[in-house]
Amino acid sequence: MLYAVFFFLHAMVKIPDKIAIEHIQRLTPYQAWEYKLVPYGEENGFLRCYGAEGPDTGTMISEVEVLTGMKIDITPIEHGELVVLLQQYYRNPDSMVRSPMAAANDKFLVQLIEEAFHNYASDIHIESYEERCRVRFRIDGKLVERYVLEPQSYPALVNQIKIMANLDISEKRLPQDGRIFYQLGKNKFDLRVSSLPAIYGEKIVLRLLPRHVELLDLGNLGFSERQLSDYLSALKHFDVVIGNSSSAIIEAPSFGIPSVNIGDRQKGRIRAESTIDCAAEANEIACAIKYALSDEFRANSKKAQNPYAGNGDAAAVICDVLAKAGVPTRGKAFYDIEVR
């Protein structure tokens, strides 16, 4: 009977299309996957989470309450739904197994860079303290400890990085900056290297600048089908487009929307009458936005002609020109979603 009631409660839970980021950030990816919890709301000191109940639920709740400083209230949902939520809001850290102590041998740096790349880390922090050294990855904006190093191996690791980045290994009292060009299989990317003097040795930060093609696919952003459609349809509902990307120059005029183009990044491009250019100064940006939102300018923007709009056969013309020039072409997939 209890099982039937529990199943019935699962069926009654309505999961929202989107959970606010301030709730999601209450737990790190490690904590969310470890405890199988997804926070979705806060009320009167309680952190409300989707989760699955089990024999260790009481112990788990006690641990999470210590970590968050809040009381935990679990809303039971089906295991499949919980996994979908975890995958949607948190990167799975299964491959990020911590090592209590690692010896920095000749291959350690290569292992470190490749591991950071595969786990989508943006930075590697290598730091020395009085009795230990540690390596941390920045993943999804948060620093996660990955390795603890033997203190005697730390100077050799620092020198190895400096040599690869063309830095002066004898200079330990001044900050230095360099770069490493790295190739991992077919992936080529830069690592920006910074060394900073500290009390117990130099601190090294490596910033990875990869091009993860799979992250550029909208299907990998965790959108539901409805959310993806809403995102791609959103432009028609904007009052004004603000920024320095080409969207304000090329796409926005087709919707009759005012746009504020900041700075000179789009210098030299043809403008529609619905585009306002301004310098990257707070006062000028504020004035431009105010003018863009005025009734007069919004009315004129609806009549503006997009200088980049054609009759729809641009792709055919381009392919024809490339074919005549002997340049091989290949197709590219696009999303074709109805605008509501």
| Nearest alpha carbon to residue 60 among 72, 70, 48 | 72
State residue 336's pLDDT score. 59
Q: What is the pLDDT of residue 233?
A: 75
Query: How many angstroms separate the Cα of 139 from the Cα of each of 66, 111, 207, 302?
Result: 23, 17, 12, 43
Question: What was the pLDDT predicted at 260?
Answer: 92
**Beta-carbon count within 10 A of 116 CB:** 22
**Domains of the chain and CATH, by start:** 2-89 (3.30.300.160), 99-213 (3.30.450.90), 232-310 (no CATH)
Helices (H), strands (E): how many in the chain? 11, 13
Residue 161 near residue 204 (C-beta atoms within 8 A): yes
What does 152-163 look like in DSSP terms, one character per residue?
GGHHHHHHHHHH
pLDDT value of residue 332: 59
The pLDDT score that the predictor gives to residue 339 is: 54
φ, ψ dihedrals at 187, nearest 5°: -95, 125
pLDDT for 163 equals 92
Q: Is 81 exposed, middle or buried (0-12, 13-18, 19+ CB in 10 A)?
A: middle
- For residue 8, the model assigns a pLDDT of 33
As a whole number of angstroms, the distance between CA 125 and CA 138 comes to 8
Average pLDDT of each block of 10 consecutive residues along the chain (340 residues)? 35 73 84 89 91 82 88 88 85 56 70 85 90 85 82 89 92 91 84 90 90 52 65 77 81 86 84 90 91 92 82 73 76 58
